[in-house]
Amino acid sequence: MMQTGEIAQALERYRRVLDEHPDERAVLFNSGLANFQLGDYAAARDAFERASLSDDPALATDALYGIAACDYAEGLGLRGSDPKLGLQKTQRALSGLHDVLSFDSAHEGAADARLKAAALWNQLKQIIEQQPPQQQPSENNDENQDQEDSEQQGGQQSQQNQDQQEQDQPNRDPSQQQPQDENQQPQDQQDPLQAQQQQQAAEQQEAQEEQQQQQQQAEQNKEEQQTAATEDEKEEQTREEALRQLRRLMDRQRLNQQRRREFTPPLPVQRVEKDW
């Protein structure tokens, strides 16, 4: 596989050729291939679209395949960040591959690519369906406002009850209040010890829950890292496979052109007699 520096040099050569011959479809196809290898799918798609206007049916069909490969690669890259946009890209790839197979039912790689694109489409669809629904801001605001009003009313009612108790307190008989205070004193002496025990138990439980959450979070992070590494590896393998497929198509195109030149019979040359 060509290195990044070699690809950049090749693109510069293609650019110089296209400056003088902007409709050289084979060079446009090579330019799209190089940009695809660099991951510049927008530039690759533009070059493939221009190459698809070729009068050569095989080159035009291969260019359409290259456009679909760009859509598929973009959809694959959006799987984690924007699955909805990735679904749209993958749908375009499926439509493009359908066109390729309609022009050439025996096209090398298009049938397999369509199966992979269909699998990616189903995967993106499942990701979108598993996403939690987003609540409307207006509904949230209404619920929050209702809750605040309810809490405010509850606070006002509690304050009124407390004021009423304070007003009724002086009217009570002191002889009835004294035994209650005496009975309350042992309970007041027990409350600090009981409260301390309850607080210690609550702190222990909170520490255990926090430790469990940390363990669960660590395991979840580990699983996410492993999943991300696996997906990145699969994505890179898929992109390399698409690139190899495009290269095989271009090699086949060059071989066909060479064969056509070899089997083209030369024009007969007639001797011209001089009449002077």
The pair of three-digit structure tokens given for residue 131, joined into one six-digit string: 């996403």
CA nearest 98: which of 86, 87, 110?
A: 110
Q: Are 76 and 120 in contact (CB under 8 A)?
A: yes
Residue 56 is given by DSSP the state S
Reduce the DSSP state of residue 23 to 3 states and report it.
coil
Euclidean distance between CA atoms 239 and 235, whole angstroms: 6
**Residues 150-174 as b or e (16 or more Cβ within 10 Å = b):** eeeeeeeeeeeeeeeeeeeeeeeee
CATH H-level, domain 4-130: superfamily: Tetratricopeptide repeat domain (1.25.40.10)
- pLDDT of 230-265, one tens digit each? 766 666 666 677 767 776 766 666 666 565 555 444
3-state secondary structure 219-238: HHHHHHHHHHHHHHHHHHHH
Euclidean distance between CA atoms 237 and 112, whole angstroms: 15
Q: Are 54 and 25 in contact (CB under 8 A)?
A: yes
pLDDT at 146: 64
**Which band of pLDDT confidence, cut at 50, 70 and 90, is reported for residue 7?**
confident
Euclidean distance between CA atoms 175 and 184, whole angstroms: 15
CA nearest 234: which of 8, 76, 65, 36?
A: 76
Q: Are 28 and 15 in contact (CB under 8 A)?
A: no
The pair of three-digit structure tokens given for residue 185, joined into one six-digit string: 């004193």
> Is pLDDT of 52 > 90?
yes
Contacts within 8 Å (CB) and 24+ apart, 257-262: 257/26
**Virtual CA dihedral for 45, 51, 52, 56, nearest 10 degrees?**
-160
- pLDDT of 202-219, one tens digit each? 888 888 888 888 888 888
Across residues 65-83, what is the average pLDDT? 92
pLDDT at 8: 87
The C-alpha R_g of the chain, in whole angstroms, comes to 38
**Residue showing tokens 């939690």:** 132
How distant, in Å, are the alpha carbons of 11, 51, 120 from that of 35?
8, 14, 23
* Number of residues written out for the chain: 276
The pair of three-digit structure tokens given for residue 178, joined into one six-digit string: 């004294």
N-term to C-term CA, the chain: 63
Q: Are 128 and 87 in contact (CB under 8 A)?
A: yes
pLDDT above 90 as % of the chain: 33
pLDDT above 70 as % of the chain: 61
